[in-house]
Amino acid sequence: MIESREITLHGHRVSYLTGGEGPVLVLVHGIAGTSGAWRDVLPGLAERFTVLAPDLVGHGQSAKPRGDYSLGAYASGIRDLMVALGHGEATFVGHSLGGGVAMQLAYQFPERCERLVLVSSGGLGREVHLLLRSAALPGSEYVLPALAAPAVLRTGAAIGSFLGRLGLKPGPDLAEFARGYGSLGDVETRQAFMQTLRAVIEPGGQRVSARDRLYLAAEVPTLIVCGTRDRIIPARHARRAHAEVPGSYFLEIPDAGHFPQLDRPREVVEAIVKFVDSTEPAHPGPDRLRTRLLEGPGGRARPAATSGAPG
């Protein structure tokens, strides 16, 4: 049974969905989304795992304070939530922006990351949909209130038509983006959205990339999932990441859009279950991590720098 709960961390409300028993899965949603982005896969996953799906701070029912909305801050917030709830290690499952957060979690707190699952993940290439690049333009914060006004949101057909003309796939993609726009009606949510967006996206595309550190994922079992009809983040980003992450697993779902977990939930659940069952959790020690860092992407060890002048 999936339950909605709340906890207070650092004086701020954090809302989350949880349920099930077994190894822990932490599911991280995308920008302007909520834990509801996982609604169709949570029941199936809870049959095998303890699932934890938070509303990121600044999103959904969680608090929307002024503060840091960087990937590092989100990663630290999820680590704190895990500690507060008594969870040690987990498989991190991230969608879109949440994929970037999941990779940041694995980088900042490798001792807590057993596996990585990246679903339509950001942070793997420059290109991103015009809709998000436009929202990063200077002055867009003054346009968003008009787009999210109740009178505009009531004309759902018009919004759907507009998003459809921008190439979004009918179904979950359109519905989730319309829902995301609808959440921007209050000032606090809008400010959190803009701070989050501009931390990772600029008018020219994604400004944050994990590609220079993907070689470190060789120590972590990684599953990369994408839909062939994703118009938000090109599927070629996922294909290229699969080629660059040694030993990674890859699932490309035909005809799915940016939300494979809503387009084809059964396939996503089956893929995650099979992935966890067929891999051992990562336990990269400090010596192994040091070796990887010294080897670098090319895999050839370099001498560590020493302090002081040569004798």
Rounded Cα–Cα distance for residues 82 and 149 (Å): 36
Q: Which residues contact 300 (CB under 8 A, 6 or more apart)?
A: none
Tell me, yes or no, if 258 is annotated catalytic: yes
How many Cα atoms occupy the beta-carbon half-sphere of 3 within 13 Å? Answer: 6
Residue 119, burial from CB neighbour count under 10 angstroms (0-12, 13-18, 19+): buried
- Which entry of 40, 55, 173, 230 is annotated as an active-site residue? 230
Q: Which of 15, 96, 121, 248 is catalytic?
A: 96
User: CA nearest 95: which of 103, 106, 87?
Assistant: 103
Closest C-alpha among 157, 199, 159 to residue 182 = 159
Query: Helices (H), strands (E): how many in the chain?
Result: 13, 10
**Candidates 29, 59, 129, 258; catalytic one:** 258
Place of tokens 């302007």: 32
Collect all residues with Cβ–Cβ distance below 8 Å to 28 and sequence separation of at least 6.
53, 54, 56, 74, 78, 92, 93, 94, 95, 98, 99, 101, 102
Cβ atoms within 10 Å, residue 84: 12
Q: Rg of the chain's alpha carbons, rounded to an integer?
A: 19
| 123/99 Cα distance (integer angstroms) | 8
Continuous H helices in the chain = 42-46, 71-85, 97-108, 130-135, 140-147, 150-153, 156-165, 172-182, 187-200, 235-244, 260-263, 265-277, 286-295
* Distance (Å, whole) CA 234 – CA 84: 36
Q: Which residues are catalytic?
A: 96, 230, 258
